[in-house]
Amino acid sequence: MLYTWAVIVGLLLFIAYVAKYSSYFSRVIMTAWIVMTPAALAALNLLARGFARRFVPHAIAQRSAVIVFANESAQLLARSLQESDFYRLEGFFDDRGDARIGVASRMAPHLGRIADLTPYIRAKGIDVVFVMLPEQGIGRALEIADELGDTTASVYFVPNFAMYDILGAELSEIEGVPVLKVAETPLFGVDGLYKHVFDFTAAFFGLLVLSPVFLLVALAVRLDSPGPVLYRQKRYGLNGQEFVVYKFRTMRINDPEDRIVQVSRDDPRVTRVGRFLRRTSIDELPQLWNVVRGDMSLVGPRPHAVQHNEYYRKAVKRYMLRHKVKPGLTGWAQVNGLRGPTAELASMEERLRYDLDYIRRWTPWLDIKIIFMTLLMILRDRNAF
């Protein structure tokens, strides 16, 4: 920050000198401004961090982390993580015993063998996994990454520091230690706070504005067929946590909508009103309440029924990475034509490709673009039924 401030001051002084404006400013005021501004910025930074810690815990909350393979580079990384405000090192995983691990076992607990890693991640809800890349045996590290694709943990490969030019991959930095990103949660910290505020505000006002529509739809559903206006279904959300999603009921009550059979075109289970609600996506509007509650976002990977999720997480590699963000009312896959039933596994693999592309590329403007594309698509989407 001081370096950037010095460059700005230097440029301003140079421009003032060349333009002959320097005589218009008091030297006392200029000196005070140059000296006090960095101090004020530092104070504001501390206040902002304190505010985030107090009122927005998730923005600065420590992320639990484990390290796989306790080599010398792991010791350096462990020391940095232990000094960090953002990470809490739980320990190491290594097939070797404490005696062979040496110094690393004294820096943090030896939590078990590599085979114990994935069960531990699931049981403890670990946020980040650092996989130290050995000089030989890179295949084992890749196997671990594939296995962790069935969790929602962020995964980093940490290369041997002599490998930078050889790998030629995009490197990141964790507390001064270079790491190679494999899977990271994009909406963490300020970005996550921004998206949450946008989602909550838009969904709250959406509920207010659309409340007359809700009443009319509720009346139509009740008059069309016996049963409740809304139906509830368990689905997987952020980090694979279950939540209850709400929709307007579109099927007959003796054919529960949460069963494993997906809805098909001209499905006899769908009611007359339900067919219209599905075609216009009005049946999804109660999920605005899920957004207000914090279960969902306006934009994100669409949530699937728990039964479908359990099937696809075993059948599609890295499927669970789509749960590194909240599910959405609409998504990048949907506006690219991937909507409706997934009759073939290849269809779900294609959706996953778009979901992960959205997670990698997320920006506020991408969300706005997807929302507008969704509104246009509703008018002409032939995959809705």
Backbone angles phi, psi at 346, to 5 degrees: -60, -30
pLDDT at 165: 45
When pLDDT is cut at 50, 70 and 90, the band that residue 26 belongs to is low
pLDDT, tens digit, for every residue of 166-188? 544 566 777 777 777 766 666 76
Any domain includes 127: yes
**pTM (2 decimals)?**
0.65
314 lies in the same domain as 246: yes
Any domain includes 317: yes
pLDDT, tens digit, for every residue of 243-268? 999 998 888 776 554 455 566 566 66
Q: How far apart are CA 113 and CA 94, in angstroms?
A: 5
202 lies in the same domain as 108: no
With a cut of 70, say whether residue 163 has pLDDT above it: no
133 lies in the same domain as 275: no
Any domain includes 123: yes
Total domains in the fold of the chain: 3
Higher per-residue confidence, 318 vs 300: 300
Q: For residues 81 and 65, is the Cβ–Cβ distance under 8 A?
A: yes
Q: For residues 68 and 129, is the Cβ–Cβ distance under 8 A?
A: yes
DSSP assignment of 115-178? GGHHHHHHHHT--EEEEEPPSS-HHHHHHHHHHHTTS--EEEEE--GGGHHHH-PPEEEETTEE
When pLDDT is cut at 50, 70 and 90, the band that residue 242 belongs to is very high
Helix axes 272-280, 211-224, angle to 10 degrees: 150
pLDDT, tens digit, for every residue of 29-63? 767 766 677 667 767 766 766 665 555 544 456 88
Question: Given 148, 183, 218, which residue is the final one in a domain?
Answer: 183
Query: Looking at residue 364, what DSSP letter applies?
Result: H
Average pLDDT rounded to a whole number, residues 274-297: 90
| SS3 per residue for 307-332 | HHHHHHHHHCCCHHHHHHCCCEEECH
CATH of the domain at 131: 3.40.50.720
Any domain includes 372: yes
pLDDT at 385: 44
200 lies in the same domain as 326: yes
Q: Which two tokens stand for residue 76?
A: 């350096």
Domain that holds residue 340: 190-378
Q: Which residues of 18-51 are buried (b: 16+ CB within 10 A; e: fewer)?
A: eeeeeeeeeeeeeeeeeeeeeeeeeeeeeeeeee
Helix extents (H) in 266-305: 272-280, 287-293
172 lies in the same domain as 23: no
Any domain includes 85: yes
Any domain includes 55: no
pLDDT, tens digit, for every residue of 57-90? 444 568 899 999 888 778 888 888 888 878 899 9
